[in-house]
Amino acid sequence: MTRTRSLAVVVATAIIAVSHIARAQAGISVGVGGGVVGSTESSLSDGKSGAIGMVAVTKSLLPLLGLGAQVDFLRRSSSNTVFGTGFVKLSLPVLPFSVKLGAGFGSGDPDGNGSISGAAGLIGLTHDITLPAAPIAFTVFGNALLAHGSSRYLQMADIGLALTLK
């Protein structure tokens, strides 16, 4: 009986510890920065630049694994580009950053040749600069996004700084 009780205490302690870590890794990030958008008819270096906004919500599943949703929005005077993606976030314990891989939808007119919209992919990196004993962090982020349209692709890259509420 004591062996079963000890096992139950260990399992309960592990569940409480993992859920506490998971809560600590949940967060909402709101950020701004710069980016460039283009189509596959030319290289991204020929694309149009603009200010970007990013909003992400992430919930930890395990201490090093999370799921989330993100919206990236690039604003230019002639047109806007938006990507909405769901992602898996992998925290790398030996490196100071996390990797995001995701899929969703993207839409925009990057070059004035007509709107492109379709299924999208996301690859991103984040690095949190945490403040001691505070429920916030500054998050440096970078994303590469690609949407498949019927005749061409929409591509966007952005980098910026976000405030993350944990």
- Give the model's pLDDT for residue 45: 72
Per-residue CA distances from 113 to 40, 81, 151, 156, 164 (Å): 12, 14, 11, 16, 37
- Give the model's pLDDT for residue 88: 97
Q: In this predicted model, what pLDDT tens digit does every residue of 63-75 receive, in sequence order?
A: 899 999 999 999 8
Of 157, 140, 166, 152, nearest in space to 49 by CA: 157
Per-residue CA distances from 164 to 12, 44, 72, 130 (Å): 30, 29, 15, 9
Average pLDDT over residues 144-151: 92
Q: In this predicted model, what pLDDT tens digit does every residue of 80-121 receive, in sequence order?
A: 899 999 999 999 888 889 999 999 999 998 887 888 999 999
Q: In this predicted model, what pLDDT tens digit does every residue of 26-58 receive, in sequence order?
A: 689 999 999 999 987 766 777 889 999 999 999
- Give the model's pLDDT for residue 17: 44
The model's confidence at residue 18, banded by pLDDT at 50, 70 and 90, is very low
- Give the model's pLDDT for residue 8: 52
- Give the model's pLDDT for residue 25: 56
